[in-house]
Structure 1
Amino acid sequence: MVAPCFVDDTLECLRRHDVPIAPLLAQLGLPPIISEPISARQYGALWRAVAEAMDDEFFGEGARPMRSGSFALLCHAVLTTTTLEHALRRSLRFLRVVLDDPHGELIVRDGLAEVTLRDAGPLRSAFAYRTFWIIVHGLNCWLVGRRLPIRWVDFKCSAPPTGTDYRLFFGAPVRFDQPETRLVFDADFLRLPVIRDSAALRDFLRQAPANILVRYRHDEGLSAAIRGRLHNMLPSAWPSLGNLATGMRMQEPTLRRRLQLEGQTYRSIKDEMRRALAMEALLSGSRSVADVAADIGFSEPSAFHRAFHKWTGRSPASFRREAGAMAEAEDGPSLGPLAPYARAAANSKHCKIDHQI
């Protein structure tokens, strides 16, 4: 679902450009005052209508208009790339030409991929930067056929009144008033192959932009079926790839090949599920780190420590300690900026990602 605050931000773009709002909402079957969340499909229709009314798919938030049809041209431009890194660098160059500012730069260091946004002029709104991330990260996820978990997001601008909704949207820690505006994820994902073709692009564009608002859900395909199987077992009982293939009545090489077509491996699926379960346990309970490690299938706490540091850049103990400190300083009894990790863990139990945005 799309939070009303983001709908208001979109409509405010129309107001600033003297575009009548009431007729547009009536045409879409939306009430004149939107006080409840709307679906991603409804917001996607609103996005298209606003883009057509303004002839700008970036809502007038860029240094230059992103003329209608630019997103489709961007998709065609990256379809011939071979890896996510190749596609991301080409996307950022394309958007630099179209928008001028804000423009993005990919920086790879310390095992992380950082997409840093820069502006030649004054800072833009958090809504403008969020819209940039929707376009870039949503397209990235579709190209490789899987959700790309975000480590954290920094905004150089100050927090809007609805900062909490930004954390719900990204499903990751969000910080405002930072030195740079950047979205960070694991650099290993940059090696994923682009798996889409022209036929898939035609279907994708028919559903855009509603389909990029949820940033590619794990609710269909072989990987979703595997998550469903694993969810019904204790992590310590998760089968080997060979036994899983036998249980799914297919040959092991076939299972491996089909997962590769979805941009996945059996190990990556297990790692994502263990990561979510570990974060949920650390954030919501008081069990020892050793007990959490055993619960999610690690035979040695040291192996869990190494894996958790790779997932989050923190040790399990420091992750739990920071969560507590943030909760006390920022949100009282809640989990502060780390709360989305718990929500992501809850979402993983249903084998799909569908954050409120």
Structure 2
Amino acid sequence: MTQGEPLLNTAKDTISMQLVREALLQSCPPGVATAEVLGRVDIDPARLDQPDARVPASAYARLWRLLARRCNDEFFCMDPRGLRSGSLAFICRSSMAQPTVGAALASALEFLTLTFEHLQPVLVRQQSLAEIVIGEPQQEARRPFTYFTFWMIVHGVACWLAGRRIPILAIELRCAEPDFCDDYRVMFSQNLQFSRPRTRMIFAADCLDLPVKRNGEELQRFLAQAPGNILVKYRDPDSLARRIKDDLRQRPAAQWPETETLARHLCISASTLRRRLAEEGQTYQALKDSVRKELAIGWLAQPNLGFAEIAERLGFADVSSFHKAFRKWSGSSPGHYRTLVLASS
């Protein structure tokens, strides 16, 4: 996300109807009230029962705003105390007064800790890695939608403060994995781990040192666009980049094709392949690096896999090359990342 650029910016951005149902579950009674609310934001109530239906992300953003006004709660009534209308504006206004993203996040999380009854977030820096850990009463975990709505708010504000998207290395959740996860992986990270001892988000700590340089005009523009600008756009599953990444995941890294071979497989020229990927804001090398990073993060959470085996699986010539690449991807050594991830296993 570049300076001032919303994440939601095209008519093609969509949200699964599954998330619409989740948003309504505690914030709007079923029946006539639901139909009336959905009608006001141009969502067809008849599509609620269609599991594969999708709605424009702009309509989902309007639904979020409408429910927040009706319930005086910007968190879909998922906490006993709630997040009263105006909370997002207060978080942004108070956070932008801080000198760095780290100080701003600490300020925002302190407010949320005071506001929520059941979610008590804290920012922890572990050398080259940082994590936001949600403390909770020792009781049944909340539904995934609750946690992901929390991350959507916190991560969205952090990206705005930083002036760019902050890459997420992993998200762990106490709850069991739901039947539907596609949009969550698009919004946050492919590396979602469920049924874990605690709920947390892990990212590179150097993001915390980024300066906060936002002014009142930018704040007003951000709030005018919220929450649409913190909804990461749905990525077309038929896009060329998505198809290539899916194909790479199915092959050992040693068998990943070169550009020319891949182009022939797709029945296009190499120059056309590069052009079409560029139109999607991608390169073939970036796609390979992205899949390698995704696989590495997942394998590092498996203590039985040694670094040499992971390096070989990823197609690196030796362990040192893997270490160098992983540090470039995440800002951390593989060993430090593994220690942090396995510490609470």
Corresponding residue of 1:22: 35
Matched, 1:150 2:168: yes
Paired amino acid for 1:308? A
Residue of structure 1 equivalent to 2:102: 85
Select 1:178's aligned residue among 196, 200, 203: 196
Q: How far apart are residue 16 of structure 1 and its match? A: 5.6
Please name the residue that 2:24 is paired with.
11
Q: Is the 8 A contact 2:171 2:200 kept in 1?
A: yes
Measure the CA separation in 1 of the matches of 2:211 and 2:26. 37
**Aligned 8 A contact 1:65 1:99 in 2:** yes
Determine if contact 1:74/1:94 at 8 Å carries over to the other structure.
yes
Question: Secondary structure, in 3 states, of the residue corresponding to 2:84?
Answer: coil
- C-alpha contact (below 8 Å) 1:14/1:21 kept by paired residues: no
**C-alpha distance in 1, partners of 2:28/2:224?**
28
1:278/1:292 contact within 8 Å kept: no
Aligned to 1:54: 71
Q: Deviations over 1:156-206 (max 9, x none)?
A: 111222134432331230011101100110111110111211110010000
* Alpha-carbon distance in structure 2 between the residues aligned to 1:282 and 1:97: 36
Give the 3-state SS of the residue equivalent to 2:323 in structure 1: helix
**By percentage of residues, which structure has more helix?**
1
Counterparts of 1:192-211 in structure 2, within 5 Å, are: 192-211=210-229
Q: CA deviation at 1:101?
A: 2.4
**Alpha-carbon deviation of 1:17?**
9.0
* Residues 21/191 of structure 1: CA separation in 2 closer, same or farther (3 Å cut): same
User: How many correspondences in the alignment?
Assistant: 254
Equivalence for 2:206? 188
- Which 5+ residue runs of structure 2 have no aligned equivalent? 1-13, 236-258, 260-281, 296-310, 339-345
Pair 1:279 & 2:302 matched: no
Q: Which amino acid aligns with 2:196?
A: Q
Is the 8 Å Cα contact of residues 125 and 205 (structure 2) preserved in structure 1? yes
Shift of residue 29 of structure 1? 1.4
**Normalising by structure 2, what TM-score?**
0.66
Q: 1:51 to 1:77 in 2, by over 3 A?
A: same
TM-score by length of 1: 0.64
RMSD over aligned Cα atoms:
3.3
Match of 2:169, SS? Answer: strand
Residues 252-267 of structure 1: matches in 2 within 5 Å? none
Secondary structure of residue in 2 paired with 1:14 = coil
Contact 2:131 2:201 in 1 (8 A): yes
Q: C-alpha deviations, 1:196-253, integer Å up to 9, x for none?
A: 11110010000000001128x9xxxxxxxxxxxxxxxx9xxxxxxxxxxxxxxxxxxx
Structure 1: where are the runs of 5+ without partners?
218-233, 235-269, 294-299, 320-357
Query: What is the Cα deviation at residue 12 of structure 1?
Result: 1.2
Q: Distance in 2 between matches of 1:283 and 1:37?
A: 26
Kindly state the Cα deviation for residue 104 of structure 1 after the two structures are TM-superposed.
Answer: 0.5
What one-letter code is carried by the residue in structure 2 that aligns with 1:211?
N
77, 99, 122: which one aligns with 2:116: 99
Q: What is the identity percentage for the equivalent residue pairs of Structure 1 and Structure 2?
A: 32
